[in-house]
Amino acid sequence: MKKDSLVKGTLILAAAALVARALGVFQRVPLDYIMDSVGQGYFAVANGVYLLLLVVATAGIPSAISKMVSERYALGRIGEAQQVYRAALLFGGIAGAVITAGMFALAPWIAGPILHEPQAASAIRAIAPSLLLFPTIAMMRGYFQGRQFMAAGGMSQIVEQILRVMAAVLLAFLVYSWNASNDEGIAAAASLGSVFGSIGAFAVMLYYAKKLRNNDRAETLNTRDASRKLALRDIYREMFRLSVPIVMTAITVQLLYTLDNMMVKSLTRGHFDPKLINDWWGLLGLNAQAIAGIPVILAVALSQSIIPVISSAHAVGDREAVGRQSSLAVRIAVFSGMPIVLLLSVGAYSVNGLLFQEPKGSLIVAMLTFGTIFQIGMMVSNSILLGIGEPKKATLHALTGIVLKVILSFILAPWLGVYGLILATSCCFIWALGFNVLSLKKRSSFTVIERRRWAGFLVTVAVVSAAIWGLQSGVLALLQGVPPKLAFFVSSCVIGLAVIGLYPTLLVLLKVITPEEAAGYPRPVRRLLAPILRLSGKTAAKQM
């Protein structure tokens, strides 16, 4: 098995996450048709609690495993890396059993006194068994990432989502066919699909674990390993020392989304019409958070793949490699994330109308999605700080950002409703990103984008935004009278093609991307940029 480079590993994880996110959105589309806003709220609450607990149980440990394993392999201490892996599997098994039992037992309390939606308890209990296997799956993914084999985690994620979506939609329709008004039962059935996904993902990870084990036996048959024996308590001490700060940073996004779902009703009750509040609750959890999860796919992949690369370079003292890989990761995140953010935020009316029953709540989708560009920067910079041994800085910035978000939510929500909550969430991302950048600048030659490129980049963003808005308005005006879904589909295709053509062209023509830099990009990206680079070169030659 050949190790994956940073770019290749990122592309593998990004492709898997893209497929998973597409399937996740597909799952919510039929649910939008068979449940009203209350049923959608039950499902969103159960899914939010599940994801939050999953992050608490697993997010920090796999990243810590990735760092611990990659450093030990870089230093030739293979036996120690294997001891770390076995200790992590033990922790995953215990954590899965404890959290599953706790979530099942506490579901009525979570749904009632905390969320003020007692009927959401059934959906929370239905999704709880999936947590039995996911901690162990996460430990295995962290080990494979530390070994820089990203395909295992990517494939398990795809299989997980396929089985989860198929089971969720099938079970939800079965309950719907028996009693179409049973929103509680439909939401619980849809939540149960995650259990089938966890079983499929675990089977895939077992397959890759066996394959890697056989490969290691063949490669290390005649080698000697001088690793020392590690005590279990020492492994866990190092693991938790690294993982606690990671958990606090990794939990930020899901915690913010869960807080928003909880506070929509509690902070707006008495200030707005109850029917409007219920609509906000369902639209935020089902439409907006689903679409807002799409732009961050590449950032999640980068955050996972950058840790072992930077940790390995940092372990052997290669500062040049650390700076080079960090800069590459940031450029990939910013340059590739922005067009998706613009497409899904400025073009939210078409995308929301195409995916869901109607374009209701498009402004909510647009505002939440636009803020993800700051979330992308926060996530990638968090991982870079972890790779250079500064996870506490990222933790501090995330925690203070969450405090700021809560304070702003109490101030803005009674005045602006759900839009105030979204503004407060974006402020949290901006706060954490800003302080992450300052910390990285103090410790390295890190730059988000060189100063000379900022003007061209901002002009590109402005022009592409205007093009999306104008094309969307024009296409929908021309297609008045045709079926709405067809109009939204055509509009989405037109603005999507415009972004694909216009965005990279402007980046090259305005010298945001140079030919020298493009030479280091993956082959598919180089092929996409080649005609534009040739045109830019001819134009520059004529001007001379």
Q: Which residues contact 425 (CB under 8 A, 6 or more apart)?
A: 256, 257, 260, 368, 371, 405
Report d(CA 354, CA 365) in Å as an integer.
13
pLDDT of the chain, 544 residues: tens digit per residue = 555 445 555 566 666 666 666 666 666 667 766 776 677 777 777 777 776 666 665 556 777 888 788 878 877 788 888 898 999 999 889 988 998 898 888 888 877 776 667 888 888 888 888 889 988 998 998 888 888 777 787 788 888 888 888 888 888 888 888 886 777 888 888 888 888 988 999 999 999 888 888 877 766 545 556 567 888 888 888 888 777 766 666 677 777 887 887 788 778 888 888 888 878 877 787 778 878 877 877 666 666 566 666 766 766 666 676 766 777 777 777 888 899 999 999 999 998 888 877 788 889 889 999 998 998 888 888 878 877 777 788 888 888 999 999 999 999 988 898 899 999 999 999 999 889 888 877 776 677 777 778 888 999 999 999 999 999 999 999 998 888 889 999 999 999 999 988 998 898 888 887 776 666 555 656 666 677 766 665 544 444 4
Q: Which residues pair with 272 in a beta bridge?
A: 269
Burial letters 457-470, b for 16+ CB under 10 A, else e? beebbeebbebbee
3-state secondary structure of 246: helix
**DSSP 8-state class, residue 371:** T
Report d(CA 455, CA 462) in Å as an integer.
11
Residue 164 in contact with residue 196, Cβ under 8 Å? yes
The pLDDT score that the predictor gives to residue 80 is 86
Look at residues 492, 261, 460 and name the one whose alpha carbon lies nearest to residue 364: 261
The pLDDT score that the predictor gives to residue 523 is 61
Report d(CA 520, CA 516) in Å as an integer.
7
> H or E segment at 305?
helix 297-315
Helices and strands (H and E) in the chain: how many? 22, 0
User: What is the SS3 string spanning 433-449?
Assistant: HHHHHHHHHHHCCCCCC
Report d(CA 368, CA 370) in Å as an integer.
6
With 0-12 / 13-18 / 19 or more C-beta atoms within 10 angstroms meaning exposed / middle / buried, residue 416 is middle
Tokens of 222: 């005649």
Report d(CA 260, CA 418) in Å as an integer.
8
Look at residues 498, 494, 515, 507 and name the one whose alpha carbon lies nearest to residue 459: 507
Q: Which residues contact 222 (CB under 8 A, 6 or more apart)?
A: none
pTM for this model (two decimals):
0.67
